[in-house]
Chains A and B, each alone.
Chain A
Amino acid sequence: GQNIDQPTEMTATEGAIVQINCTYQTSGFNGLFWYQQHAGEAPTFLSYNVLDGLEEKGRFSSFLSRSKGYSYLLLKELQMKDSASYLCAVRDSNYQLIWGAGTKLIIKP
């Protein structure tokens, strides 16, 4: 079966750094995505990794290790507006996205 695992909830402090992990087992791999979803809103695209390594985009970075079936999203200089759910998704052999349940990130002042 296909499986995407990520922690249900994490708490961090404003101004700090947080790393959200994602492990996956899917039928085929055609890229890994991170999306942000604020409560009651639609997901918005954050990052895409298809090769091993780190992709940096401003305060957000995403890492991929295909051999380990592992990715993480790193958020730096946390702001209160970063409080949201972060969804990990893998594009499988059918080129469809398989989604994790999301990690709810709570930022405290």
Chain B
Amino acid sequence: GAGVSQTPSNKVTEKGKYVELRCDPISGHTALYWYRQSLGQGPEFLIYFQGTGAADDSGLPNDRFFAVRPEGSVSTLKIQRTERGDSAVYLCASSFLDSNEQFFGPGTRLTVL
């Protein structure tokens, strides 16, 4: 595709459930980033992949959050035992390895009831 795609666009779940959020980066982009953004705030860094490996996962808030990128392309962000405080827009971005410009997907709006 032409840009970064994310699915689903919206996800409503109940407290305590497990969710998976998918990101399909721009073809050829080796760097992939996950952020989350709450209303009225800037994005908050979660994790960064170079290829298949998580080069920096220091932004993951706790061990309920995990992300994978097994083939160096599509990435999945996994959240276990969701809490109401996890409600936010989860943004994915990708870039060429040494590029200054990150291209963002449209985001997944997660609502935990």
Contacts and interface: CB of A to CB of B under 8 A. Distances in A.
Task: Describe B's contact surface by its main secondary structure.
Answer: loop
How many B residues touch the partner, as a band? 20 to 34
Interface in A1-59: 4, 31, 33, 41-45, 48
Given A101-B41, A102-B42, A48 B56 contact: no
Contacts, number: 45
A25 to B, nearest CB: 15
A41 B56 contact: no
A84 B83 CA distance: 30
Interface string A64-87: 000000000000000000000001
B91 A4 contact: no
Interface string A88-105: 010000111111111000
A101 B104 CA distance: 17
B58 A94 contact: yes
Contact of B100 (A41, A48, A87, A102): A48
Interface of A: 4, 31, 33, 41-45, 48, 87, 89, 94-102
Given A45-B103, A94-B56, 10 more contacts: A42-B105, A42-B107, A48-B101, A87-B42, A94-B58, A96-B48, A98-B45, A99-B44, A100-B42, A101-B42
Interface of B: 4, 40-45, 48, 56, 58-59, 91, 100-107
